[in-house]
Amino acid sequence: MVAKTRLHELTATEIVRVIQAGEASCEEVVQACLAHIEVREPTVEAWQYLDPDQVLAQARALDRQNGSPGPLHGVPFGVKDIIDTCDMPTSYGSPIYEGHQPVLDAACVALSRKAGGVLMGKTVTTEFANVHPGKTRHPMDPERTPGGSSSGSGAAVGGKMVPLALGTQTTASVIRPASFCGAFGYRPTYGDLRMVGVKEAASSLDTLGLMARSIEDISLYRDVLLDIVPIPLPSVSQAPKVGFCRTPLWSQLEPYTASLLETAAEELAKAGAQVEEVHLPGEFDSIVEMHRAISSFEFRRNFTYEIVNHWGQISPALRQGRIASGQACSYEQYCDAKMWAETRRRQLDDVFASFDVLLTASAAGEAPVGLGSTGNPVFCALWTTMHVPAMTAPVFTGPNGLPVGAQLVGRRYRDRQLLTTAQWISQRLG
């Protein structure tokens, strides 16, 4: 039996089991999370909106419910405040939308509730999921950024306030905060998980992202969001083929991160994995520029209403960053970048003919000191643009004792294989 005051430390899978076994009620799980949040929130500020009464009412309704429980019955989840909710305001990290109340739940929220999840509240996002930071601080060191743009989701899951949270990623917005905050972060194959009700940044790149404290939970939550009957991951007996991929951006890594990854590659080989270095063809070197063309061209046009009507309420960082880049990018450059990406995706498919997974960096290193920036996003730009599924696993510790993730990348439409392989790898490195 888990102590009632420690229920917030459980994973989603454990919470489901405990509630089904009658060892705790939905309300008790939520009470434990709320109590922990009450202690930690003044320092971390992960939440944009959280009303304990509203959360308790949901839990009590679930405890009263007859009929067969859903696969997330009683599991509290946080939702990045870029995602619409029908009963909680959604402000997209912008003063333009302060107090805005959507009329419906985003598809991902509706699917989570349908599965029995308890919507804990809205987690802090950077402005429109871009770079201008929100108020959130790193759950282990308030002088440091939690990463972004899914800042509150990373801090809430890493800081054990909720076992699950939804984020979104257009560059590095799930993998980076999860890596910084010590959570598992998962970005699915582009297009697999529905984006209805999510404020768009750049639809050619945007995906949902999931954060959790186990791969088992990631798999469960993914099945819920696909609206399919959840099937636990199989245990793998066969060691995977791992491609160790120093991308063209390797020189931007902290030296200790490069060392941690090199040591990990050696450990996996010792554990039986077939590990080889993967060198991407030279065409991949232009990734940062190509990613910028696609994301900026689309962002600039997507926000026409806000730019025309609310220019004064847009941060200088966004005006001079993404919006200015989108203005400078021609339609021809945009199309060239989309065609470039399509050709690179096929080249990457060929790489995956020889490997089950690529091992690479999630972020430059530990979460940097300072709240003015959410860190360097370049280590995810390639994988996001390639539409491949990616996951960060919190398997390393940096020089200041803070988490550093390893990024594992799979082949498009092989997300379940990625999660299965990631399970094998993180058990050997963790």
Of 9-17, 244-252, 297-305, 373-381, the window that binds a copy of itself (rule: CB under 8 A) is 297-305
> Given candidates 35, 56, 86, 258, which one binds a copy of itself under the rule CB under 8 A?
86
Amino acid residing at 372: G
Task: Compare residues 114 and 428 and give the one whose CB is closer to a copy of itself.
Answer: 114
Task: Compare residues 314 and 378 and give the one whose CB is closer to a copy of itself.
Answer: 314
Is 129 a residue that touches a copy of itself (CB under 8 A)?
no
Annotate 40-91 with DSSP letters as a single string: HHHHH--EEE--HHHHHHHHHHHHH--SPPPTTTT-EEEEETTB--TTS---
Cis peptide before 325 (omega within 30 of 0): no
Q: In Å, what is the CA distance from 347 to each residue of 307, 390, 411?
A: 38, 17, 11
Of 16-24, 125-133, 250-258, 299-307, the window that binds a copy of itself (rule: CB under 8 A) is 299-307
Least separation in angstroms between residue 83's CB and a copy of itself is: 12
* Axis crossing angle, helix 415-429 with helix 215-226, rounded to the nearest 10: 170
Structure tokens belonging to residue 11: 């994973």
DSSP code, position 239 = P
Binding-site size for a copy of itself (CB under 8 A) equals 40
Site string for a copy of itself, 93-122 (x = CB under 8 A): ----x--x--xxxxx-xxx-xx--------
Instruction: State how far the Cα of 376 lies from the Cα of 373, in Å rounded to an integer.
Output: 8
Site string for a copy of itself, 324-363 (x = CB under 8 A): ------xx---x--xx------------------------
Task: Compare residues 39 and 335 and give the one whose CB is closer to a copy of itself.
Answer: 335
Structure tokens belonging to residue 262: 């090199």
Residue 240 near residue 272, CB atoms below 8 Å = no
Is 194 a residue that touches a copy of itself (CB under 8 A)?
yes
Helix (H, G, I), strand (E, B) or coil at 269: helix
Least separation in angstroms between residue 353's CB and a copy of itself is: 15
Is 232 a residue that touches a copy of itself (CB under 8 A)?
no
Q: Which of 292, 134, 281 is nearest to 205 (CA)?
A: 292
Helix (H, G, I), strand (E, B) or coil at 360: strand
List, by residue number, the catalytic residues: 80, 149, 173
The footprint of a copy of itself (CB under 8 A) covers 86, 97, 100, 103-107, 109-111, 113-114, 191-192, 194-197, 200, 203-204, 226-228, 298, 300-306, 308, 330-331, 335, 338-339, 413
